Structure 1
Amino acid sequence: MLIKLSQDVGGYLYDVFIARFDLWLALGLFGQALFAMRFIVQWLASEREGRSVVPLAFWFFSIGGGLITLAYGFHQREPVIILGQSLSIFIYARNLMLIQRERRVRGRLGRATAE
């Protein structure tokens, strides 16, 4: 039974990752890798600071990975990926807008106190 299970799992993994491998799968895997990098960047930044930190690179990896994964979802006609990534990309972009606005305000405050 265990041998049969391992053969079935091996056959499944071969079919999914080797037999069906094409440019779109490579693109989807690349998008997923970019998406995963955001967690590594966030974790390393937090470890360095000794507190939870969300660096700017987190949002750029989120957008890059999200857009590529969205393209993959459209190509594969995967409604779960399309809906999930469409909303997520908006949220990532909005976070970048909020960060930019905060930096502008801080810049203006810094100039005002220096004068």
Structure 2
Amino acid sequence: MLTQDGGCPKSILAIKDAIETMDGRWKLPILISLSAGTKRFKEIAKDVSGISDKMLSKELKELELNKLITREVSELSVVEYSITEHGKSLEKVMKELYDWGLEHRRQIIGK
């Protein structure tokens, strides 16, 4: 199998990139929050229970860098976040993860 820099087989580089983009505990919950519509920082914080403001700020910046969300500042200096079309393309993946997670829970803990 052909390899890229770092010894990763070419066939798994895309998976590695996807996992690194979504790495961490908070990115999926933030995207789920924003999938319901445009929100302000505090609205996202309320939806994503347990996240600190510092961590939310960090994760929002990373999601924006990866073009999964946009940050818009209005003339009144109101900041709002929205999921992008690229971010919405993860909905199928999130649904599959949800289904897999339910089955995994049944297999591991019987619930």
Q: Same fold (TM over 0.5)?
A: no
| Higher strand proportion (structure 1 or 2) | 2
Larger Rg: 1
TM-score by length of 2: 0.30
| Higher helix proportion (structure 1 or 2) | 1
